[in-house]
Chains A and B, each alone.
Chain A
Amino acid sequence: MQINIEFYASLMQYLPPGKSRHRREISVQDGLRVNRLVEQFHIPEKMAHIVLVNGHFVDADKRADRELVEGDVVSIWPPVAGG
């Protein structure tokens, strides 16, 4: 199935080659869980601090259960703050 990934800030280094600043459309196996996606891109667990699927938080303790579906957008940030 096709999903979109978006990596931000220091995690942009984990993006595969492509034209968009943050987003890549990728093919993944059906039913892939969020934690497996993070592992697949070799992002250290602690650096996947904010993980959104379609703009909604997936907390760290829920990522092993959360199955992705066709067209999902997964956005990942390291620990960040500002204000």
Chain B
Amino acid sequence: MSWTRKILRVNLSDGSCTSEPLNMEWANQYLGQRGLASKYLTEEVDPACDALGAENKMIMATGPLTGTMASTGGRYSVICKSPLTGAIACSNSGGFFGAELKFAGWDMIIFEGQSAKPVYLYIQNDKAELRSAEHLWGKSAWETDDIVRQTHQDPQLRIACIGRTAEHGCLYSAIMNDKHRAAGRSGVGTVMASKNLKAVAVRGTGGIGNVHDSKAFMAATNDGKAVLAENAVTGQGLPAFGTQVLMNVINGVGGLPARNMRDVGFEGAENISAEAMAEPRKSDGKANLTTNGACFSCTIACGRISTVNPEHFSVKDKPQYQGNSGGLEYEAAWALGADTGVDDLDALTYINFLCNEDGMDPITYGCTVAAAMEMFEDGVITTEHTGGIELRFGNAEAFVAITEQFVTGEGFAADLGLGSKRLCEKYGRPELSMTVKGQEFPAYDPRGIQGIGLAYATSNRGACHLRGYTIASEVLGIPVKTEMNDTDGKAELVKAFQDATALVDSAGLCVFTTFAWGMDNIAPQIDAACEGDWSVENCLETGERIWNMERLFNEAAGFTADDDTLPKRLLKEIIKSGPTEGQVNRLGEMLPQYYEARGWTADGKIPQETRQRLSL
């Protein structure tokens, strides 16, 4: 059955940690992780609540395949109401923390209430207790990891924690685990800080011993691994070049936004690409990329381990940043780089290190700095606001300086911590915030690539590529190529990607498997691991049920069809040059088709018949 059938409920207000049985009726409807935890959140939390109040809950949830031998079966997610968007938040992370939580015997942890003083949760198999974290408050995520590990004298302890930005109230702080992996988006780390919870440290020795049909599971997971190994993307491209291989592709097709999405196409793209990361540098003969890395049970290994040139201004005289650490992934490299106009690979790698060290979402951070840069160029923000920093597009020194201030909460940090929506509103230029539902865009311009615009506009957690990655089809030809500038068929394409991804995110698997796997590869693994019917059809319906449930949460939180939109810049301002010259996003053509494909009303509501069909 692969579920441990146990939930750990931690009440931070009264300090209690209690075990309770997993609701198996819900597990059969929502599978695990994203789906199942969202069901608990929907049942237990008022969607209209204050995201940073005691009434919001934060759930760390694994999937049934987390901790198993299924390739990439090491994922966990953090689910809560987002302080950045006010919508449902679900941030997914790899590394080793999720598997360890499962080994300790827990499907999920539900945190509720607020602690009066800083605490951390220590879990050793079935024993769980809250301990004082007053000595950890004010420490970075990396320092916190080291101190907790030393305290317990256990090198195999797995730790998820927040850095200083969350403590300072940055609305898009991440939860870092295993130092370099992040539940990154939507401010889940900020919610953790609001509960005075600094860290969760877990050690489990139980393993996964309750697979429903172990022989079938062995066969299905082996088949899946063979498919990943033989596929050119998952077997060769991702391990060798990582996600950063996209930098030149997306720039080449006219889909790379630059300078707060004012431009499309970035002249410095190749300097911050995967290929550039692999080149030996003059100073020490080493490349930015040291090696690739894998999360628990992953046979793809797309992770980047990098160093900054020790002679570079950003780390010179800072030996603590001259060693290997988590390197640039594509979305981070775009937001920190192309969107700010900075093409200094070492500066971006260093800033990425700081994002990991103190736990902030590099997409929202980069985009927020980009919005601030545009307002600086327009004279709305001045050196008086920034403490003398010339925050212009392309200024790597300024970006490094303001980031070093940001992580310690100094200077312009409070403003940048608002995210671009609130920042642009504060300075009277709301149209310069490149967001949907208050969350910043990732690295694909919806003017050049139509379907991803619809996916952004309808994403339940605000602008996000991981809620419906139509880029796979529209640009990369996976599983089949569709035309970037066509709107026909994009409604169905977006729905298919959204539903399938919701299922994958609920299983404990990484969505990158879907570059090689179809649902016919995934369903047999779930079906062998879990009791119940996990046919392809049921898996897809489960994904659709999860998507609709998230939508209902947002509806109750106050979102309407008016929020299924894109910034005016992307709907009205044509691309000025390059292969996609003259284009805007034609959301108005696609959105009604999308509502129809979903069985929703013309104003984006979920009617009773669709709810009944999905057992909602």
Point out residues on A near B: beta carbons under 8 Å: 6, 8-10, 12, 21-22, 46-47, 49-50, 52, 54-57, 59, 75, 77-83
Q: How far is the CA of A8 from the CA of B250 in the complex (A)?
A: 12
* Nearest Cβ on chain B to A77's Cβ, whole angstroms: 6
A59–B330 touching, CB < 8 Å? no
A82–B232 touching, CB < 8 Å? no
B237–A83 touching, CB < 8 Å? no
A83–B512 touching, CB < 8 Å? yes
Query: What is the total of A-B residue contacts with beta carbons within 8 Å?
Result: 98
* List of A residues within 8 angstroms of B475 by Cβ: 50
Q: How far is the CA of A82 from the CA of B243 in the complex (A)?
A: 4
Q: How far is the CA of A9 from the CA of B233 in the complex (A)?
A: 12
Known A-B contacts A79-B232, A81-B476, A83-B471; the reply to A10 vs B248 at CB < 8 A is no
B245–A9 touching, CB < 8 Å? yes
Q: List 6 A-B contacts (CB under 8 A).
A: A9-B241, A49-B477, A57-B253, A80-B237, A80-B476, A83-B471
B238–A52 touching, CB < 8 Å? no
* List of B residues within 8 angstroms of A55 by Cβ: 252-254, 578-580
* Chain A residue nearest to B516 in the complex (CB): A81
The 8 Å CB contact of A8, one of B275, B331, B484, B580, is B275
B253–A52 touching, CB < 8 Å? yes
Residue B294 at the chain A interface, CB threshold 8 Å: no
Residue B242 at the chain A interface, CB threshold 8 Å: yes
* Chain A residue nearest to B240 in the complex (CB): A10
A83–B465 touching, CB < 8 Å? yes
Q: How far is the CA of A41 from the CA of B253 in the complex (A)?
A: 22
A12–B330 touching, CB < 8 Å? no
Known A-B contacts A49-B477, A50-B249, A55-B253; the reply to A82 vs B330 at CB < 8 A is yes
B232–A83 touching, CB < 8 Å? no
B579–A54 touching, CB < 8 Å? yes
A82–B242 touching, CB < 8 Å? yes
B275–A9 touching, CB < 8 Å? yes
The 8 Å CB contact of A46, one of B232, B275, B472, is B232
| Chain B stretch 461-509: residues in CB contact (< 8 A) with chain A | 465-466, 469, 471-472, 475-478, 481, 484
B205-217 interface bits toward A, Cβ cutoff 8 Å, 1 = contact, 0 = none: 0000000000000
A8–B233 touching, CB < 8 Å? no
B235-266 interface bits toward A, Cβ cutoff 8 Å, 1 = contact, 0 = none: 01110111111101100111000000000000
B249–A77 touching, CB < 8 Å? yes
Q: How far is the CA of A52 from the CA of B476 in the complex (A)?
A: 12
* List of A residues within 8 angstroms of B232 by Cβ: 46-47, 49, 78-79
A81–B233 touching, CB < 8 Å? yes
* Chain A residue nearest to B514 in the complex (CB): A81
* Nearest Cβ on chain A to B387's Cβ, whole angstroms: 36
* Chain B residue nearest to A56 in the complex (CB): B579
Known A-B contacts A8-B249, A49-B477; the reply to A82 vs B578 at CB < 8 A is no
8 closest cross-chain pairs (CB), A and B: A55-B579, A82-B243, A79-B232, A82-B246, A81-B515, A80-B237, A80-B245, A81-B233
* Chain A residue nearest to B515 in the complex (CB): A81
Known: A50-B249, A82-B242. 15 other contacts (CB 8 A): A8-B248, A10-B237, A22-B248, A50-B476, A79-B232, A79-B478, A80-B233, A80-B246, A80-B249, A81-B246, A82-B329, A83-B465, A83-B471, A83-B472, A83-B512
* List of A residues within 8 angstroms of B246 by Cβ: 80-83
Q: How far is the CA of A61 from the CA of B241 in the complex (A)?
A: 27
Residue B270 at the chain A interface, CB threshold 8 Å: yes
A21–B275 touching, CB < 8 Å? yes
A81–B478 touching, CB < 8 Å? yes
Q: How far is the CA of A12 from the CA of B238 in the complex (A)?
A: 16
Residue B557 at the chain A interface, CB threshold 8 Å: no
Q: How far is the CA of A76 from the CA of B329 in the complex (A)?
A: 22
Interface centre among A21, A49, A56, A79 (most CB of B within 10 A): A79
A81–B481 touching, CB < 8 Å? no
* Nearest Cβ on chain B to A63's Cβ, whole angstroms: 13
A83–B275 touching, CB < 8 Å? no
A81–B275 touching, CB < 8 Å? no
Q: How far is the CA of A54 from the CA of B579 in the complex (A)?
A: 7
* List of B residues within 8 angstroms of A83 by Cβ: 243, 246, 330-331, 465-466, 469, 471-472, 511-512
B330–A22 touching, CB < 8 Å? no
* Nearest Cβ on chain B to A55's Cβ, whole angstroms: 3
* Nearest Cβ on chain B to A74's Cβ, whole angstroms: 11
* Chain B residue nearest to A12 in the complex (CB): B275
B270–A21 touching, CB < 8 Å? yes
The 8 Å CB contact of B245, one of A47, A56, A75, A82, is A82
* Nearest Cβ on chain B to A67's Cβ, whole angstroms: 19
B481–A59 touching, CB < 8 Å? yes
* Nearest Cβ on chain B to A83's Cβ, whole angstroms: 5
B253–A79 touching, CB < 8 Å? no
* Nearest Cβ on chain B to A37's Cβ, whole angstroms: 16
Q: How far is the CA of A9 from the CA of B238 in the complex (A)?
A: 11
* List of A residues within 8 angstroms of B245 by Cβ: 8-9, 77, 80-82
Known A-B contacts A22-B270, A50-B476, A55-B254; the reply to A80 vs B241 at CB < 8 A is yes
A21–B276 touching, CB < 8 Å? yes
